[in-house]
Amino acid sequence: MEYYIVDVFTEAVFSGNPAGVCLLESWLPDEILQNIAMENNLSETAFLVKRDSHYDLRWFTPELEVDLCGHATMGSAYVLFRFKDKNADILSLHTQSGVLAVERKGDMLLMNFPSRPAAPTHRFDSIGGALHIENYEVYKSADLLVVLDNEDAVKSVEPDFEALKRVKEEAGMPDDSFGVIITAPGSDCDFVSRFFAPNAGINEDPVTGRAHCVLIPYWSKRLGKTTMTARQLSKRGGSIYCEDVGDRVIIGGRAALYLTGEINIEEVR
């Protein structure tokens, strides 16, 4: 199996979010896909199978399959544009979240994703305790959105991840793939964020495309802008181009190739 690691939402390796990308001839059993993702031990590993005019795409964390992942989609598109579909400008990827298109414009990759606006909800006590914060607003979508006062407040959060796992029950989230997004206005960009998903085996994700499906409609409405720039304030960090286009969002960035290799499938069957 061809295997790649691509650092996404960055122009250089050792920053952004590393995504594993596996190219398959046909689908393997889910147990094997999950074990490969666990062995890779990245926040997500993408698996792709070529069809006549598109690719089927699935994403796995080290612990479970998720229904949407941005950085591993961009990493997959980077690999396909560079090694497989060199003359293409747009790729069609079929996923659990519908058809996702990725367009290449120079060295930028622009993903067309579903918009996931968040609705205001009450302040869960478990969030304040797990994040050690007092002044915040909470909104609910596929992920929880926690709005803080400023960038410094986002930077200074030190979560209790075991306590954060228990937010699921109080918030009534349906499965373990949800995350908790914290965000605030940015000092040198429109907004900043961080993303935590300990229930999915990811304490803090370096740069999170799916979180921006929630962040973009929120900040577009709040700022009165449709085009924005964002930064994710993890240790590795990353920059994201954001555009609100109604019921869809455009999430853009650059990527850098870190590794090409092979996974010995016969050894893991």
pLDDT band at 52 (very low <50, low <70, confident <90, very high): confident
pLDDT band at 267 (very low <50, low <70, confident <90, very high): low
What is the third-level CATH fold of 119-246? Diaminopimelate Epimerase; Chain A, domain 1 (3.10.310)
Least-confidence region, from 16-25, 34-43, 110-119, 167-176: 167-176
| Rounded (5°) CA angle 195-240-77 | 100
Helices vs strands, H then E, count in the chain:
8, 18
Per-residue tokens: 175:
């499965």
Per-residue confidence (pLDDT) for residue 2, from 0 to 100:
97
- State the average pLDDT for the chain: 95
Q: Tokens 């979508």 sit at which residue?
A: 141
CA-CA-CA-CA dihedral for 210, 179, 57, 4, to nearest 10:
90
Per-residue confidence (pLDDT) for residue 206, from 0 to 100:
95
- Selecting among 44, 65, 151, 204, the annotated active-site residue is 44
Mean pLDDT of 39-62: 96
Per-residue confidence (pLDDT) for residue 124, from 0 to 100:
87
Per-residue confidence (pLDDT) for residue 269, from 0 to 100:
57
DSSP string, 58-82: EEE-SS-EES--SHHHHHHHHHIII
Rounded to a whole number of angstroms, the CA Rg of the chain reads 18
The beta-strand segments (E) located in the chain are 2-8, 17-24, 45-50, 55-60, 65-66, 90-95, 98-105, 108-114, 119-121, 137-140, 144-147, 180-185, 191-197, 202-205, 227-232, 238-244, 248-253, 255-262
CA distance 262 to 239: 30
User: How many CB atoms sit inside 10 A of residue 203's CB?
Assistant: 12
CA distance 203 to 195: 8
Q: What is the pLDDT of residues 148-199, one digit of tens each?
A: 999 999 999 999 999 999 999 988 998 888 999 999 999 999 999 999 999 9
CA distance 61 to 68: 11
Least-confidence region, from 17-31, 65-79, 169-183: 169-183
pLDDT band at 268 (very low <50, low <70, confident <90, very high): low
Please indicate whether residue 44 is annotated as part of the active site: yes
Residue 114 to residues 96, 98, 136, 193, 248: CA-CA distances in angstroms? 12, 9, 26, 19, 5
CA distance 80 to 49: 11
Domain ranges of the chain: 2-112+253-268, 119-246
Q: Which CATH number fits domain 2-112+253-268: 3.10.310.10, 3.40.50.2000, 3.30.230.10, 3.40.1410.10?
A: 3.10.310.10
CA 102 from centroid of its chain's CA atoms: 15
Per-residue confidence (pLDDT) for residue 53, from 0 to 100:
86
Domain pair 2-112+253-268 / 119-246, same fold: yes
pLDDT at position 266 over 80 = no
